[in-house]
Amino acid sequence: MAEISTKLSLSDIDQRTLDNAKVFMLDCLGCILSGSQIINAKVIREAVKHIAPDGDCTIFGTGEKTNTMMAALINGTTGHSQDYDDDHREGTQHASVAVLPAVLALAEKYGKSGAEVLLAYIIGSDVTIRSGEAFLGTSYYAGWHLTGTCGVMGAAAGAAKVMGLDVQQTVDVLGVAGSAAGGLGAFNSNGSWTKRFHAGQSAMNGVLAAEMGKAGYFAPAAVYEDKDGWLNCFSYKGGSVGYDPVLPDGIQDGSKLVENFGKKWEMADNSIKLHSCCRFTNNFCDCAIDIHNQPGFDWTKVKAIHAECNRFTDTKLCQPVDMKRHPQNTVNAQFSLFYEIACGLVKGRVIPESFTEEAIKDERINHLCDLVTWEINPEFEAVYPDRYPAKVTVTMEDGSTYVGEVA
């Protein structure tokens, strides 16, 4: 990966990837600007004032500056604050919000060009996504949040590229980054803000790893594939959620990291979110909004709502049921299958304003949340993570039904 990435130039990148990358960059910057007004962004800015009150790098959405690491931390965390930033299906994580803040902070500090930023961003995003693809969509079941575990690898790769590091330096950068990887799914237990921090943490540690690699900090070259390396440690080992038998090295495919690396750009197929909530409920938002818009539908006459989903949706967006059925804060609302479906049925849209403290108290939505049941559809699970199918069937008081389905 280091040998290939250090040799790449913009002329090696196809036009579709370049065009899409520019869209993703603008989308990410928009998410950072919008997210800068969210409470957790204000809190992390206040914390950073006590660490690095000034510096060379812009804190977007403010007139303030700080050092490179703290700028990457703030901008990454801020960009993920509404869960509106781009994501990748097979990679099952958010790349831009981890990579771009790291690349931009270093580019600003060292006076790099827009072309250098674009190239570094593409490389870093691809490393992030390929790292996620290597787990075949299962690492979440081991308790990890992949924007944290994979994001730092891509942030580090992008940071190394924008700084113009050589092969050995880049190897050390990735080696350091592997030990800085992390991001616990425990945020899901109470709807806390740490999920948002995982993006900023990845960007910050990517900057640190790049500076350490540049200085010659010796790190493991086999950071991914060693028996105690990144792939083994972050892979899901089975034994629960229907996987049997237990796998000592976990579910992983390291070939996803390097197959056609530098030739086929996985990041060109990122997805721009229409709904500011977990990507595994964006499909159900579409189903619910479709039903809302069907002729004759009246949410006040709904008798029952049934959703068909994949295993991830069941595990992370329906459990624990009491908390998810009636979310008490915005993060849990963003990760609630019940809330997303009900919101789409009642309002016909699921937008950032749907996730304020006031919005989640809407009694109309809470009423429909009580009517939702769900099941895992084996056909849906069979195509994960290549596709995220969804189906919602609404039964009315008169016995008629409305169906919304996403393939």
Q: What is the CATH number of the domain that holds 176?
A: 1.10.4100.10
Q: 375: which strand partners? A: 308
The verdict on 313 and 371 lying in the same domain is yes
* CA-wise closest residue to 229 among 245, 250, 210, 198: 250
Domain assignment of residue 172, yes or no = yes
Q: For the chain, what percent of residues have pLDDT higher than 70?
A: 99
Domain assignment of residue 274, yes or no = no
The verdict on 378 and 233 lying in the same domain is no
Which pLDDT band, with edges at 50, 70 and 90, does 239 fall under?
confident
CA distances from 75 to 5, 64, 292, 322, 384 (A): 25, 12, 36, 33, 31
CB 141 within 8 A of CB 113: no
* CA-wise closest residue to 71 among 47, 98, 102: 102
Q: Which of 204-208, 239-243, 252-256 has the lowest mean pLDDT?
A: 239-243
Q: Which two tokens stand for residue 244?
A: 């049997």
The verdict on 12 and 120 lying in the same domain is yes
Mean pLDDT of 267-285: 95
The verdict on 27 and 69 lying in the same domain is yes
Q: Reply yes or no on whether the pLDDT at 306 is more than 80.
A: yes
Q: Return the HEC string of 130-141.
A: HHHHCCCCCHHH
Which pLDDT band, with edges at 50, 70 and 90, does 246 fall under?
confident
Q: Which of 92-106, 239-253, 281-295, 359-373 has the lowest mean pLDDT?
A: 239-253
Question: What is the total count of domains within the chain?
Answer: 2
pLDDT of residue 153: 98
Condensed to tens digits (0 to 9), the pLDDT of residues 18-74 reads 999 999 999 999 999 999 999 999 999 999 999 999 999 999 999 999 999 999 999
Between strands 302-309 and 372-376, the pairing is: parallel
* Residue at a domain's end among 248, 269, 290: 269
The verdict on 307 and 342 lying in the same domain is yes
Mean pLDDT of 312-335: 94
CB 205 within 8 A of CB 156: yes
Condensed to tens digits (0 to 9), the pLDDT of residues 76-86 reads 999 999 999 99
Condensed to tens digits (0 to 9), the pLDDT of residues 352-400 reads 999 999 999 999 999 999 999 999 999 999 999 999 999 999 999 999 9
pLDDT of residue 369: 98
pLDDT of residue 242: 62
- Report the distance separating Cα 393 and Cα 395, nearest Å: 7
How many other C-beta atoms lie within 10 A of the C-beta of residue 377?
17
The verdict on 170 and 294 lying in the same domain is no
The verdict on 205 and 319 lying in the same domain is no
pLDDT of residue 241: 62
Q: What angle do CA 375, 327, 85 make, to 5 degrees?
A: 85
The verdict on 77 and 170 lying in the same domain is yes
Q: Which of 7-11, 117-121, 275-279 has the lowest mean pLDDT?
A: 275-279
Q: Which two tokens stand for residue 345?
A: 């049925």
pLDDT of residue 243: 61
What residue numbers bound the domain in which 207 lies?
Answer: 2-269
- Report the distance separating Cα 29 and Cα 224, nearest Å: 30
Q: What angle do CA 309, 83, 37 make, to 5 degrees?
A: 155
CA distances from 228 to 82, 178, 223, 233, 390 (A): 35, 11, 8, 7, 37
Q: What angle do CA 131, 134, 140 make, to 5 degrees?
A: 85
pLDDT of residue 200: 98
Mean pLDDT of 210-217: 98
The verdict on 257 and 284 lying in the same domain is no
| Sole residue written with tokens 């616990």 | 184
CB 51 within 8 A of CB 70: yes
The verdict on 80 and 187 lying in the same domain is yes
- Report the distance separating Cα 301 and Cα 294, nearest Å: 14
How many other C-beta atoms lie within 10 A of the C-beta of residue 359?
17
CB 327 within 8 A of CB 336: yes
pLDDT of residue 244: 65
The burial class, CB within 10 Å (0-12 / 13-18 / 19+), for 147 is buried
How many other C-beta atoms lie within 10 A of the C-beta of residue 318?
20
Domain assignment of residue 377, yes or no = yes
Q: Reply yes or no on whether the pLDDT at 245 is more than 90.
A: no
The verdict on 185 and 246 lying in the same domain is yes
| CATH code of the domain in which 295 resides | 3.30.1330.120
- Report the distance separating Cα 170 and Cα 186, nearest Å: 32
* Residue at a domain's end among 205, 234, 269: 269
Q: 392: which strand partners? A: 307, 404
- Report the distance separating Cα 311 and Cα 232, nearest Å: 22
* Residue at a domain's end among 237, 269, 301: 269
The verdict on 220 and 298 lying in the same domain is no
Condensed to tens digits (0 to 9), the pLDDT of residues 123-179 reads 999 999 999 999 999 999 999 999 999 999 999 999 999 999 999 999 999 999 999
Mean pLDDT of 265-286: 95
Q: Reply yes or no on whether the pLDDT at 248 is more than 90.
A: no
- Report the distance separating Cα 286 and Cα 274, nearest Å: 9
* CA-wise closest residue to 202 among 73, 381, 388: 73
